[in-house]
């Protein structure tokens, strides 16, 4: 039981990091950015390229090298998210929702197959493999590297929660989410705030990509597709647009997958996860912590 809980929390922390970007963007401009999972993939490949440049440091100080690369990758994927918003989404901000949704799907394919052209179609083996010796904690076998990765995820999520709920930038995000026209009239630079929202969400996805590459050891250009859908599922379960709900949804999805795999077998893992998505959309479409809202006319 303890092992299943730990495995679920570990995987759920990755889902939560990626899902937060979905939730932030949807909360501010009501856009389902289906290219977000591919920013996770882009982060994994950016980390792979940077680790190749570091060379000797990777062999002697693998965890330190991964942490340095993680910070640099967050900047790279954050800027990629800003570029995506500026080129693909900003010109269509006043267009019907369907146009934005189709553009997001197109941006997803562009990132996937652009990476395929640059990096090649074959999977890559990460230069850093975070295995490590295991120890027993409350009946579960964990490694120091797992604890470090979960701690990093917790720190990033806590920092984001503080930013959104306590800072001036966060107040601007929440004001735009409530009423972008009123926020603009009150002097808020809406375009700049939206760009920063994309930067932060994309940076978190990139961090998760590096962490996943270092832990699982293998990356490929389609790796963002499934985790993007899983992150969307986590956001829906928790309440898309709600930061605390999204974090909770990611962890809950990880736990559901862990117990579902134990009960039904590993081949049912994705079926179980997306079955939960259908269930939540049917029973409680606003998620666990989401609020029912009425469309203003």
232-290 residue pLDDT tens: 888 888 888 788 888 898 999 888 888 888 877 778 888 888 888 888 888 888 888 86
- 292 within domain boundaries: no
- Bigger pLDDT: 29 vs 35: 35
* Residue-level pLDDT at 293: 47
- Bigger pLDDT: 32 vs 79: 79
**What percent of the chain clears pLDDT 90, i.e. is strictly above it?**
25
9 lies in which domain range?
2-223
Average pLDDT, the chain: 85
Q: Parallel, antiparallel, or unpaired: how do β-strands 140-143 and 218-219 relate? A: unpaired
Mean pLDDT in residue range 129-141: 72
Buried b (16+ CB within 10 A) or exposed e, 240-275: bbbbbbbbbbbbbbbbbbbbbbeeeeeeebeebbee
Residue 286 CA to residue 241 CA, distance in Å, equals 10
- 142 within domain boundaries: yes
Range name among 114-118, 158-162, 229-233, 238-242 with the lowest pLDDT average: 238-242
Mean pLDDT in residue range 196-201: 92
In the predicted model, is pLDDT for residue 166 greater than 90? no
State whether the Cα torsion 48-51-231-163 is positive or negative: negative
* Residue-level pLDDT at 295: 45
Q: What pTM was computed for the model?
A: 0.88
Indicate the number of domains in the chain.
1
Mean pLDDT in residue range 216-244: 87
* Residue-level pLDDT at 288: 83
- 242 within domain boundaries: no
What does the pLDDT look like over 170-186, one tens digit per residue?
899 989 888 888 988 88
Band (pLDDT 50/70/90 cuts) for residue 131 is low
For the residues of 160-208, what is the DSSP string, one character each? Answer: HHHHHHHSHHHHHHHHHHH-HHHHHHTT--HHHHHHHHHHHHHHHHHHH
In the predicted model, is pLDDT for residue 202 greater than 90? yes
Residue 79 CA to residue 89 CA, distance in Å, equals 15
- 282 within domain boundaries: no
* Residue-level pLDDT at 130: 67
For the residues of 98-163, what is the DSSP string, one character each? Answer: HHHHHHHHHHHHHHHHHHHHHH-SS-EE-S------EEEETTEEEEHHHHHHHHHHHHHHHHHHHH
Mean pLDDT in residue range 46-68: 76
| Distance, first Cα to last Cα, the chain | 50
- 278 within domain boundaries: no
- 237 within domain boundaries: no
- 231 within domain boundaries: no
Band (pLDDT 50/70/90 cuts) for residue 297 is very low
């Amino acid at each position: 039981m303890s092992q299943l809980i730990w495995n679920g929390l570990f995987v759920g922390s990755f889902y939560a990091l990626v899902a937060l970007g979905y939730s932030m963007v949807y909360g501010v401009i009501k856009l389902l950015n289906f290219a977000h999972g591919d920013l996770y993939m882009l982060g994994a490949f950016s980390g792979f390229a940077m680790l190749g440049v570091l060379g000797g440091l990777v062999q002697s100080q693998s965890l330190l090298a991964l942490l340095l690369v993680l910070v640099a990758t967050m900047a790279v994927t954050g800027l990629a998210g800003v570029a995506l918003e500026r080129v693909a989404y900003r010109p269509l901000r006043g267009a019907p929702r369907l146009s934005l949704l189709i553009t997001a799907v197109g941006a997803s394919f562009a990132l996937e197959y652009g990476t395929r052209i640059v990096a090649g179609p074959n999977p890559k083996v990460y230069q850093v493999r975070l295995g490590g010796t295991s120890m027993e904690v409350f009946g579960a076998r964990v490694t120091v590297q797992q604890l470090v990765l979960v701690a990093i995820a917790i720190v990033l999520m806590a920092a984001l929660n503080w930013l959104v709920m306590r800072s001036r930038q966060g107040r601007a995000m929440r004001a735009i989410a409530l009423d972008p026209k009123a926020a603009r009239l009150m002097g808020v630079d809406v375009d700049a705030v939206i760009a920063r929202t994309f930067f932060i969400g994309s940076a978190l996805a990139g961090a998760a990509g590096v962490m996943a590459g270092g832990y699982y050891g293998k990356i490929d250009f389609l790796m963002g597709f499934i985790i993007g859908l899983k992150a969307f599922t986590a956001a829906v379960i928790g309440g898309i647009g709600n930061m605390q709900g999204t974090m909770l949804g990611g962890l809950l999805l990880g736990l559901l997958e862990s117990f579902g795999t134990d009960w039904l077998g590993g081949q049912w893992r994705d079926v179980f996860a997306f079955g939960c998505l259908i269930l939540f959309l049917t029973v409680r479409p606003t998620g666990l912590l989401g609020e029912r809202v009425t469309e203003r006319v």
